[in-house]
Amino acid sequence: MKQFHSIQEVRAYRKSTPGIIGFVPTMGNLHEGHLALVRQAKAECDAVVVSIFVNPKQFNSTRDLEQYPRTYEDDLAKLKSVGADSVFYPSREAVYPADFSTTISSNSLTHLWEGEHRPGHFDGVCTVVAKLFNMVQADRAYFGEKDYQQLQVVKAMARDLNIPIEIVPCPTVREIDGLALSSRNSLIDPKLREKAPLIKSVLDGAKFAIGNGSPVDGALQTARDTLVGAGFIVEYFSLVNGCSLEPIIQWEVDARLLVAAQLGDVRLIDNIAL
Ligand code: AMP
């Protein structure tokens, strides 16, 4: 597995590698969710580049950025085990040199949900993803449905800016108890960990209720109340159109349930298709 630290190296690799290149952007601290993206990319492309870069521009607090887990050596071993062809691990200075001054401002999909609760987050995501796309110049990029809004925002950005890359969505990978895998799960207070899977059961409960004809408002309120009753702070629990991400009040094709809730110090997000 090749390792690149500079933009020149990863560009040279792209130029000298024939066939379809798949790209998996990550912030490291890799788990099975990330590895599933790499496996899918491996199965569908001739070579796979994985980037590891903890992007300071998409964090809302210095504390969150500082405590984000960094486990590079471990990540390398995991990537080798799934056959990634190369890892791109640029420094912060390479991505954001001192005179860096351009931001990609995100689009109509970002005024709600994560965008509302994390101001500037999607500008940071769009800026770094566009930069990484330009650095790696892959044919396809693999993103997890775990971050459903991010997936839609990145798709819209690539389309709007005519970036010649296909965005491939990949299903959410979960623990056996239903908790969606996330690098932040390791930060959950062990005493609260057993409550975390409630997010998925409540999503399933709301899906079942709405699927069986319960009014959407009532089903969503029951879901919020259940989470609050268990000690979560609920930021949103909503039914949305899966493309526009606008809230909807009845079932429609591509409808999606989105949730963000805090458990202790850790903010968890999840979603399921209806
Ligand atoms: P991150 O390192 O958290 O920025 O995530 C990198 C990529 O992995 C993003 O496309 C995420 O959506 C995806 N990802 C994170 N967790 C999961 C998961 N549990 N299942 C599937 N994809 C995931």
40 Cβ closer than 6 Å to some ligand 1 atom? no
144 Cβ closer than 6 Å to some ligand 1 atom? yes
How far is the CA of 273 from the CAs of 84, 132, 186, 234, 270, in angstroms? 29, 29, 26, 19, 11
Question: What are the backbone angles phi and psi of residue 256, rounded to the nearest 5°?
Answer: -140, 140
Q: In the predicted model, what is the mean pLDDT of residues 229-251?
A: 96
pLDDT reading at 107 higher than 80 = no
pTM of the model: 0.97
User: Tens digits of per-residue pLDDT, 13-23?
Assistant: 999 999 999 99
Taking the C-alpha atoms of residue 149 and residue 185, their distance in angstroms, rounded to an integer, is: 19
User: Tens digits of per-residue pLDDT, 46-72?
Assistant: 999 999 999 999 998 898 899 888 999
29 Cβ closer than 6 Å to some ligand 1 atom? no
From the CA of 172, how far away is ligand 1's center (Å)? 8
Active site residue 121: no
Please, are residues 77 and 1 in contact by the beta-carbon 8 Å criterion? Answer: no
Class of residue 64 by CB neighbours under 10 A (exposed 0-12, middle 13-18, buried 19+) = middle
Helix (H) or strand (E) holding 274: none
State what percent of residues in the chain have pLDDT above 70. Answer: 100
8-state DSSP, 193: G
Of 273, 266, 270, 216, residue with least CA distance to 33 = 270
